[in-house]
Amino acid sequence: MRLTSLHCGTITSTMGDPPDPLQLPIMAFVIETGGEVVLFDTGMHPHVRTHPIDYWGRIAKRRLVPDLPEGADVVSRLAEAGYGPQDVTVVINSHLHNDHAGMNRFFPHSRIVVRRREWDYAITQMDADSSGFVRNDFFDEGAPPEFIEYDDECDLFGTGDLVLVSTPGHTPGHQSAKIRFGSGSTHVLTGDAVYAYDDIALRRPPGVTTDREAAIASIDRLADLEADGARIHVCHDAGHWAHVQPTAVVHEEPTTS
């Protein structure tokens, strides 16, 4: 089993409260387990490198300014880690915002697994300017994704190795990922449930929420997972990822027979 982080550019956000500019890393992750290669989040579409406002709309002018250098998109980072798009068996997203699902279309041979309540919300927002949901990122009427739905947790492969955890609030169908290795070492990928690690102790929800109370309850859930021994990886925490190589093995263990 292996968990690998991929640093896929940054965004400068003024969407918080207060609206002070924050430069946030865009992270994706590869989870290799049981013969599956799972990509958690797909970063930003390469169009934002040269035409961010045309692709994202006015949100890219000041509120959410992307920076995607050459070689930093998720496909390029995967190559650095030794994977090609054809190796990815499953794509899942924490949610369908434009900095988390921007390259879903680049994996036509993978299972694209989407939480139903996230999809149902995203498709009502994807044509709204500055909504953060971009139709071209994830919507294909002729090739819909594979839908899942659950209330608490979803054991994706039935082995306990990769469990999706419901953490709504930022969006209605937001989810985190819990990865459990054979030794018992457990790692949680938070998506946008929080923007910084310190937000967990402060019970401070992300600056953008659809349901603030649900967002705080999701933070409490992350705190409980940490209290149980899980290592929490906050995907937008600039202070943490600044000290990690753009492509890095977070944790690895031999497969047990």
* Partner residues linked to 60 by β-bridges: none
What's the pLDDT score for residue 15? 76
pLDDT at position 16 is 66
Q: What is the pTM assigned to this prediction?
A: 0.96
What local confidence, expressed as pLDDT, does residue 18 receive? 66
Q: DSSP labels for the chain?
A: -EEEEEEEEEEEE--SSS---EEEEEEEEEEEETTEEEEE-----GGGGT-HHHHH-GGGTTTEEEE--TT-SHHHHHHHTT--GGG--EEE-S--STTTSTTGGG-TTSEEEEEHHHHHHHHHHTTSTTSS--HHHH--TTS--EEE--SSEEESSSSSSEEEEE--SSSTT-EEEEEE-TTS-EEEE-TTS-SSTHHHHHT---SS-S-HHHHHHHHHHHHHHHHTTPEEE-TT-HHHHTTS-SEEEEEE-PPP-
What pLDDT score does 249 carry?
98
Residue 88 exposure: Cα atoms within 13 Å on the Cβ side: 32
Instruction: Pull the structure tokens for residue 16.
Output: 């918080």
Mean pLDDT by 10 residues, the chain (257 residues): 98 78 94 97 98 94 94 98 98 98 96 98 92 95 94 97 98 98 97 96 94 98 98 96 97 80
**Largest Cα span, the chain:** 53
Residues 108 and 126: their CA atoms lie apart, in Å, by: 21
What is the CA angle 167-7-1, rounded to 5? 70
Q: Look at residue 256 in the predicted model and tell me its pLDDT.
A: 60
